[in-house]
Amino acid sequence: MNDTYDAIVIGAGHNGLITAAYVAKAGLRVLVLERRELVGGTAVTEEVFPGFKFDTGAHRISRLYPPLVTDLKLADHGLELLPLDPTVFAPTLDGGHLSLWRNPENTIDAIRQLSDKDAASWNGFAALVAKATGLLETLYESSPPEALSKKRKDRWAMLRMAGRLRRLGKRDMVEVLRILPMTAVELLDEWFETDVLKGTLGAAGITGIFQGPMAAGTAYLFLHQHVGTKQGILRPALRVRGGTGRLAQALAGAARSLGVTIRTGAWVERIIVEDGRAAGVALVGGEEIVARQVISNADPKRTFLDLVDPVNLGTEFLRRVRNIKFNGVCARVNLALGELPDFSSLPGDGPHLRGLISISPSLRYLERAFDDAKYGELSREPFLEAVIPSLTDPSLAPQGKHVMSILVQYAPYHLKDGVWDESRCDALGDRVVETLAKYAPNIESAILHRQVLTPLDLELVFGLTEGNIYHGEMTLDQLIFMRPVPGWARYNAPIKDLYLCGAGTHPGGGVTGAPGYNAAREILKRVK
Amino acid sequence: MLRGTPFHERTAPLCQAQNWRRWAGYLAASSYELTHDREYYAIRSAAALIDVSPLYKYVIRGSDAVRFLNRVLTRDVAGCDMHQVMYGPWCNEAGKVIDDGTLQRLGEESFRLTSAEPNLRWLCDNAFGLRVTIEDDSDTTAALALQGPTSREILNNVSDADLDSLKYFRLAFARAGNIPVTITRTGYTGDLGYEIWADAQQAIRLWDILMDGGRSYGITPSGIYALDVARVEAGLLLIGVDYIPANRALIEARKSSPFELGLGWAVRLEKGFVGQEALLEEWQRGPAWQFKGLELDWNSLEKVYAEFGLPPELPMIAWRTSVPVYAGAAQVGYATSGCWSPTLKKYIALAHLRSAHAERGTSVEMEVTVEHRRKKAAARVVDLPFFDPERKRS
Ligand SMILES: Cc1cc2nc3c(=O)[nH]c(=O)nc-3n(C[C@H](O)[C@H](O)[C@H](O)COP(=O)(O)OP(=O)(O)OC[C@H]3O[C@@H](n4cnc5c(N)ncnc54)[C@H](O)[C@@H]3O)c2cc1C
């Protein structure tokens, strides 16, 4: 292998593939190195049990950054996105249930079954969310302004941001600024009275963070999850036909067609730094590959603390990277089912099984779930978000059978006593099944196989520090120009020719492609 | 509460003056007798025994110890021989001095670093990801400085070390009586001298052994006043007096680079270390300040005092304030320590001067307050140290 490359991308997560594709499109020779045997990172579909294919990482997409799809001709490479409708179905224990739909009228009708008042509030709330997310959307499409910088360019960026804010009009501007640092509880209590409605919306504000809905900033995360979605569609979800892994394959196909070389089973052990600049990488096994730029799709802690010799980094920078909060809180349970779950509050098959299934009966339920985690324990009653993709995509499971993936929160990476060993892993699986069985009692007998991925497994399998699904918590202190650390939000690093392109950079985690897209733009600006 | 050092049981009854000061949370004698003259002369003509236990001491061990210390210190630690001692500063990322101290290479992968201020956090921050352990030995290691022309003979008598072959800035492991000690050929006086490092539990016995063995050589417990005069003569910096550690400075202007402190010789710009980039830039630009000696002109001093019918009043105890230095009407610097040098018979001061006025031989004026009035006395810029006897190195 004595080809020379302009750029090496460490990691074939969706963001890494996107950056690779764009950089190659600009004419650079790019090599992607992925430690696993398959591409996609946390956007993969794996046949865990014979005939049963699971999205072991992300199982739904809120929104892909639109220009990606056209620029990279992803449809030609096999990408097909399927909107879930209802977006979400939330059962309760008292026989109630709520579904939110893509058509706001349907949503309002559904809410009206529970509260006239809340039904009347819906459009107003949806409009507020649309205004706030509209503001975030413009922020997300560009690299974050360096708030600490005195450069004229950065001051302009700050001004432009202020300009966009002002364009909302005074009333709305104040309203948007007011809600950004709020708690999800405060925000939702201002608008609604129905517990299951508030719980189900509020769940979007806690996903992936070591906080409950009563923590400041959860309103922001709620908005973040809705950026770019159509007004009135809340807890939105798209699926990829064939599984999330098909997205990665489409991206890999696009990248290859642009000349990118992708090697799997290639584990980068070290970034080679020479004279203060990144000069290539060394693989586990000893192979060294030189390149003019090194772009890391691994999270910032992995990149700077594991792959780079610390003597190449400044004291203050290292301290900041060390202090990035990860605190993984999610686990994943994948069930191979012989039959569909039968929810007591809405028996039988129906459209409700085709949306997200959210166990989030109230905000209090979510906060209680967090209370346990706060003291280092698995939630007694965890928040669950499940999808049964085989309903819309029969190829994922043998005829008549189903796959169900469940995101579980809170399963804290750091346990009060002990570690995530086999018995705790089993206990986690049991806890999830028991919780689900309270709503759908047939679930236990429907299970043919069960896979449990604890936060420790997520770390080991996907290379996620502390099992954090977003490459660093999405809390207010770690966003925008503070992501990954203040002063280094432009995808670059204190080592010349080293870049980041993953979810640990602005605008953060989730399958959106935005970090990878922004990173490519910044890199190309500097490489030119 | 301020603590006594491990030698307190011995030093307390000796301290006739009850003149204690605080040093890093410990009690330290300013002088033992009512005036410090005899203690000073012990440094220059016999042997002074000075309790320097309040220094911070860190023991650094591990296979990355050299890499780690090379990252922190401005000196080339890779070039530090076994049993060598190195003096030098360390800087923040902006190339401003945080502290200065000595580094003893105790073994292939073990070192002792001393400092005037606590540095554990800074060291740990820089050790991240490296295979080193850093142990704060400040309380458990006692330290004595034995300084002066007879110090070698005393140590030869009380220890099994071969001090005749122990070169300047080298160390030896030895026994004094039967106490294991590390003896370093170092000191803060600019004279022939040693520093002795031992387990704090053995401190009292070590003191007794040295005092007994040194009696006929004029060994004299000495305090900080005597030391201060000696270190000004030797042109050695005192942190917090001659410079402000970068992490304590409230404004940028209060921070100093090694170049500005006369420590350019200790900076190895070609190796990677914290502050390297900034220092390289400064070196290319040329530093704005220099740290130099001032010798006051006797006739001029006489004249400014004569105006009031006084003979010159001389600072026998070194002063530690900031005193303006002028060239004509313009202030071109400030002196930070000064005293009458009993050995050189000169009024000397350590001063920060703008580079344009720092050339050796330049005439400047230093402010002197006479009868509550600000006067200027003529002074000449000289290189440091003021006093540099051959025996220091021999
Ligand atoms: C269980 C789970 C469920 C999730 N659910 C959702 C969801 O439903 N919806 C959603 O939007 N988001 C979800 N997420 C989050 C989302 O998947 C991630 O935030 C996002 O995909 C991160 O993408 P990325 O490309 O930045 O990084 P990753 O997908 O993490 O990719 C990084 C890649 O780098 C590779 N790598 C790391 N170190 C090295 C090395 N030294 N050498 C070579 N390769 C290396 C890794 O193997 C990996 O392939 C989920 C995540 C997890 C783990």
Domain range B8-55+139-222, CATH architecture: 2-Layer Sandwich (3.30)
Are A466 and A262 in contact, with CB atoms under 8 Å apart?
no
Q: How confident is the model over A492-510, as pLDDT tens digits?
A: 999 999 999 999 999 999 9
Q: What gap in Å lies between CA A449 and CA A433, rounded to an integer? A: 12
In 3-state terms, what secondary structure has residue A25? helix
A107 and chain B in contact, CB less than 8 A: no
Q: What's the pLDDT score for residue A138?
A: 82
CB atoms < 10 A from the CB of A38, how many? 16
The torsion angles phi and psi of A358, rounded to 5 degrees, stand at: -120, 120
Looking at beta carbons, which residues of chain B come within 8 Å of A316?
93
In 3-state terms, what secondary structure has residue B127? helix
Q: What gap in Å lies between CA A517 and CA A496, rounded to an integer? A: 20
Structure pTM? 0.90
Domain range B288-385, CATH architecture: Beta Barrel (2.40)
A309 and chain B in contact, CB less than 8 A: yes
In 3-state terms, what secondary structure has residue A8? strand
B272 contacts A314? CB cut-off 8 A: no
- Of A331, A355, A326, A358, which is closest to residue A202 (Cα–Cα)? A358
Rounded to a whole number of angstroms, the distance from the CA of B85 to the nearest CA of chain A is 23
Could you tell me whether strands A45-49 and A81-83 are parallel, antiparallel, or unpaired per DSSP bridges? unpaired
Query: Nearest Cβ partner of A315 from B130, B272, B274?
Result: B274
Our answer on whether the CB atom of A57 is closer than 6 Å to any ligand 1 atom is yes
Largest Cα separation within chain B, whole Å, is: 67
B93 contacts A315? CB cut-off 8 A: yes
Q: What gap in Å lies between CA A91 and CA A441, rounded to an integer? A: 13
Q: How is residue B55 written in tokens?
A: 């220094």
Please tell me chain B's helix, strand, coil percentages from 3-state DSSP, rounded to the nearest 5.
Answer: 30, 35, 35
CA B240 remoteness from chain centre: 12
What residues contact residue B103 under an 8 Å CB cut-off, 6+ apart? B69, B73, B75, B77, B80, B85, B86, B87, B88, B111, B112, B113, B114
In 3-state terms, what secondary structure has residue A202? helix
Per DSSP, the residues of B199-244 read EGGGHHHHHHHHHHHHGGGTEEE--HHHHHHHHHHTT---BTTTB-
In 3-state terms, what secondary structure has residue A448? strand
Could you tell me whether strands A402-409 and A383-387 are parallel, antiparallel, or unpaired per DSSP bridges? antiparallel
Q: What's the pLDDT score for residue A1?
A: 45
Amino acid at B305: Y
A434 and chain B in contact, CB less than 8 A: no
What chain B residue is nearest to A323 in terms of C-alpha separation?
B125
In 3-state terms, what secondary structure has residue B36? coil
Amino acid at B318: A
Q: How is residue B133 written in tokens?
A: 């352990």
Largest Cα separation within chain A, whole Å, is: 69
Per DSSP, the residues of B170-201 read BEEEEEETTEEEEEES--SSSSSEEEEEEEGG
The torsion angles phi and psi of A280, rounded to 5 degrees, stand at: 155, -165
Instruction: Average pLDDT across each block of 10 residues of chain B; the chain has 394 residues. List them in order.
Output: 96 96 96 97 98 98 97 97 98 97 98 97 95 97 98 97 96 97 98 98 98 97 98 97 96 97 97 95 96 98 97 97 97 98 98 97 98 97 98 92
How big is the CA angle at B126 (ends B120 and B131), to the nearest 5 degrees? 100
Are B366 and B358 in contact, with CB atoms under 8 Å apart?
no
CA end-to-end distance (rounded Å), chain A:
26
Strand partners, A452: A333
Stated as kind and residue range, the H or E segment containing B16 is: none
Q: Tell me the CA–centroid distance for residue A364 and ligand 1, in Å.
A: 30
CA A8 remoteness from chain centre: 24
Mutate: best of A308, A311, A317, A318, partner B, most B CBs <10 A = A311
The torsion angles phi and psi of A81, rounded to 5 degrees, stand at: -100, 135
Dihedral class, residue B148 (left if φ above 0, else alpha if ψ from -120 to 50, else beta): left
One pLDDT digit (tens) per residue for chain A, 528 residues? 446 899 999 999 999 999 999 999 999 999 999 999 999 999 999 999 999 999 999 999 989 999 999 999 999 999 999 999 999 999 999 999 999 999 999 999 999 999 999 999 999 999 999 999 988 888 887 777 776 677 777 777 777 777 777 787 888 888 888 999 999 999 999 999 999 999 999 999 999 999 999 999 999 999 999 998 899 999 999 999 999 999 999 999 999 999 999 999 999 999 999 988 999 999 999 999 999 999 999 999 999 999 999 999 999 999 999 999 999 999 999 999 999 999 999 999 999 999 999 999 999 999 999 999 999 999 999 999 999 999 999 999 999 999 999 999 999 999 999 999 999 999 999 999 999 999 999 999 999 999 999 999 999 999 999 999 999 999 999 998 899 999 999 999 999 999 999 999 999 999 999 999 999 999 999 987
What residues does each domain of chain B span? 8-55+139-222, 57-134, 288-385
Could you tell me whether strands A498-500 and A288-296 are parallel, antiparallel, or unpaired per DSSP bridges? parallel
The torsion angles phi and psi of B142, rounded to 5 degrees, stand at: -95, 150
A116 and chain B in contact, CB less than 8 A: no
Please tell me whether the peptide bond between A494 and the residue prior to it is cis, using omega within 30 degrees of 0.
Answer: no
Q: What gap in Å lies between CA A397 and CA A406, rounded to an integer? A: 16
Are B129 and B141 in contact, with CB atoms under 8 Å apart?
no
Per DSSP, the residues of A134-161 read HHHHHHHTSPPP-TT---HHHHHHHHHH
Candidate from A84, A225, A269, A469 with most ligand 1 atoms within 8 A of CB, to mutate: A469
- The 3-state secondary structure of B360-390 reads CCCEEEEEEEECCEEEEEEEEEECCCCCCCH
Q: What gap in Å lies between CA B103 and CA B116, rounded to an integer? A: 13
Give Cα separations from A194 to A117, A165, A365, A386, B259 (angstroms). Answer: 9, 31, 13, 22, 69
By residue count, chain B amounts to 394
Contacts from A395-401 at CB under 8 Å and sequence distance 24+? A395/A53, A395/A242, A396/A45, A396/A52, A396/A53, A396/A54, A396/A242, A396/A243, A397/A51, A397/A52, A397/A53, A397/A336, A397/A337, A398/A51, A398/A52, A401/A51, A401/A52, A401/A336, A401/A337, A401/A338, A401/A448
Where are any strands of DSSP class E within A196-343? Answer: 238-240, 261-263, 268-274, 277-283, 288-296, 330-337
A151 and chain B in contact, CB less than 8 A: no
Q: Which domains does chain A have, with CATH numbers?
A: 4-45+61-82+243-323+484-527 (3.50.50.60), 104-237 (no CATH), 326-462 (3.30.519)
B272 contacts A315? CB cut-off 8 A: no
Q: What gap in Å lies between CA A31 and CA A297, rounded to an integer? A: 13
- The 3-state secondary structure of B293-333 reads EEEECHHHHHHHHHCCCCCCCCCCCCECCCEEEEECCEEEE
CA A298 remoteness from chain centre: 14
Q: What's the pLDDT score for residue A3?
A: 62
Mutate: best of A275, A277, A302, A315, partner B, most B CBs <10 A = A315
Domain range B57-134, CATH architecture: 2-Layer Sandwich (3.30)
Strand partners, A243: none
Q: How confident is the model over B199-214, as pLDDT tens digits?
A: 999 999 999 999 999 9
Stated as kind and residue range, the H or E segment containing B83 is: none
- The 3-state secondary structure of B53-74 reads CCCEEEEEECCCHHHHHHHHEC
Looking at beta carbons, which residues of chain B come within 8 Å of A311?
67, 71, 130, 272
What ipTM describes this predicted complex?
A: 0.82
Mutate: best of B122, B128, B270, partner A, most A CBs <10 A = B128
Q: What gap in Å lies between CA B282 and CA B294, rounded to an integer? A: 25
- Of B324, B301, B296, B322, which is closest to residue B370 (Cα–Cα)? B301
Query: Nearest Cβ partner of B125 from A311, A312, A318?
Result: A318
Candidate from A15, A36, A42, A460 with most ligand 1 atoms within 8 A of CB, to mutate: A42
Q: What gap in Å lies between CA A199 and CA A204, rounded to an integer? A: 9
Strand partners, B323: B335
Our answer on whether the CB atom of A491 is closer than 6 Å to any ligand 1 atom is no
Are A132 and A223 in contact, with CB atoms under 8 Å apart?
yes
Q: What gap in Å lies between CA B103 and CA B121, rounded to an integer? A: 18
Could you tell me whether strands B133-136 and B56-61 are parallel, antiparallel, or unpaired per DSSP bridges? antiparallel
